[in-house]
Structure 1
Amino acid sequence: MSRPTLLLVHGAWHGSWAFEPLTSILIDRGWTVKTVDLPTVHADDKAMLTLQDDADAVAAAIDSIDGPVVVVAHSYGGVPTTQGATDPKVAHIVYIAAFALDEGESLLGAVGGVAPDWWVIDGPLSTAGNDELPPHTLFFNDMSQDEADRASSRLLSQAVQPFSDTLTQVAWRDRPTTYLITEDDTVFPVVAQEALAARAGSQTARLASSHSPFLSQPDAVADVIEKAAQSVA
């Protein structure tokens, strides 16, 4: 089997920009890296879109790659990845503090069925963070204030519908997975991450990091991804 291509899938409100430090490190190590900007965050008509639109974007990105693929999914990005990364060429999935859900489950259900207070919902769209829990605290709590402010300024609104949509396919059932648990995560309790990792039968790695280790500790995240990819190559 040839060396796999790495496909990085961002989380809610984010974009492929969040992977820039990580991408640079992986390319320097000799890996081919692709990213996808999910349409429920980045499309002009995003308010009308669903989870399936994001899953289709992940599937299309995989389809465009020749040879084996390792998909790396962060947070909400784990949901369209689980739904959309069913192509046989997907050889491994790396979940980074991600929702590795099962058939019939939704992200909203996974967080208790009620939107957290820091999901600021305005009709069909949502933004992340409020006065009590700003993005710095939610996502970037192990970064400097300047770095966190720069990242926070790039967050966009996200369609609400995908959070309630349920999965009809489960990519992790048919291929090996790695789950990177972020131990200083404000957003995602460690016990919940551990439960999802165990259910998916994942190999686990752990970092004392915020919800966004690809920004705060990109070398360490690259090590985890590289280990998973080398198991395929």
Structure 2
Amino acid sequence: MGVVLVHGLWHGVWTWEAVRAALADRGVQSVAVELPLTDLDADVAAVRAVLDRVEGPAVLVGHSYGGAVITAAGVHPAVRHLLYVAAFQLDQGESVSRLLPGESFPQTRLAEAMRVGETEVDVDPVLGPQLLYSDAPAEITAVAASRLRPVGRALFRGVPTPIAWRSTPSTYLVCGEDRVVHPELQRAMARRATRTLEWPSGHSPALTRPERLATLLAELAAGAADTRHG
């Protein structure tokens, strides 16, 4: 049983480097997907292409916007479990900019940090990292901030289809001190998951808690394998 890792907006496969090293130490194979971050369909296609090449079943992980991606890509026959990490566990007709109609939640400063152009969206070089890595050491924040990249505006309107969590078991990891996706919004989306966990973490536990996240992933992979063989 392997693990397939999907990053969020403005990031890349480097997000998962420490987690992948920790998974390797635990004997768990993993691969991180580099999303084009142009539109949701292209990102879903990138994940499906990786899943096509994975040997055996997998746990599919999405961080933040990556949750929208795994919601659609997770119907792939290789996927046995979905893990949403402070992620957008969207339902039919929803996008990362329009979800849970009729409900309201406290706002973070993410909109203030976004720099919206005609075709791309970037983040403020000061406020963006402060929100994304609010509980990270300064050296980790500096390196991560230097690797951020703009994303396509179309991503914010992308609507996933089909909806994988309706047919595939899922776990939602709420990051209780998140300054990007408000914890109350996360808890509302987590009601859709099979299981919910909550950590006192900022938005980026892959960078701040890689060992703990790898332990969770190894447990999910082992549990999914046991279910498959049971």
Length-normalised TM-score, structure 1: 0.89
Q: CA RMSD in A?
A: 1.7
Report the Cα distance in structure 2 between the residues aligned to 1:101 and 1:156, rounded to whole angstroms.
Answer: 24
For the residue of structure 1 that corresponds to 2:187, the secondary structure is helix
Corresponding position of 1:184 = 177
**Match of residue 150 from structure 1:** 143
* Deviant stretches of 4+, over 2 Å: none
Q: Which residue is 1:164 aligned to?
A: 157
2:204 maps to 1:207: no
CA distance in 2, matches of 1:161, 1:222: 32
Given residue 128 of structure 1, which amino acid in structure 2 is its aligned partner? V
1:38 corresponds in structure 2 to 35
* 1:1-233 matches, cutoff 5 A: 4-40=1-37, 49-110=38-99, 116-129=111-124, 134-199=127-192, 201-233=193-225
**What does the per-residue CA deviation read over 1:70-94, in whole Å, with 9 as the maximum and x for residues that have no partner?**
1011000111111122112210011
Q: Aligned pairs, how many? A: 218
Q: Deviations over 1:147-175 (max 9, x none)?
A: 21111110001111011122221011111
Partner Cα separation in structure 1 for residue 18 and residue 128 of structure 2: 19
What SS does the aligned partner of 2:112 have? coil
Give unpaired runs (5+ residues) of structure 1: 41-48
Provide the identity percentage: 35
The C-alpha deviation readout for 1:83-116, integer Å capped at 9, x for no partner, is 122112210011100001011111111398xx82
Q: Which moves more between the two structures, 172-181 or 202-211?
A: 202-211
Q: Give 3-state SS (helix, strand or coil) of 1:117's partner.
A: helix
Write out per-residue CA displacement over residues 186-227 of structure 1, whole angstroms, 9 at most, x where no aligned residue: 01111111111112x331222111100110011111122122
- TM-score normalised by the chain length of structure 2: 0.90
What is the distance in 1 between the residues matched to 2:78 and 2:16? Answer: 23
Q: CA deviation at 1:21?
A: 0.6
**What residue identity is the alignment partner of 1:74?**
H
Counterpart amino acid of residue 34 in structure 2:
D
Cα distance in 2 for residues equivalent to 1:26 and 1:224? 10
**How many angstroms does 1:130 deviate by?**
5.9
Do the aligned partners of 1:120 and 1:130 also contact (CA within 8 Å) in 2? no
Q: Which residue of structure 2 lines up, in the alignment, with residue 43 of structure 1?
A: none
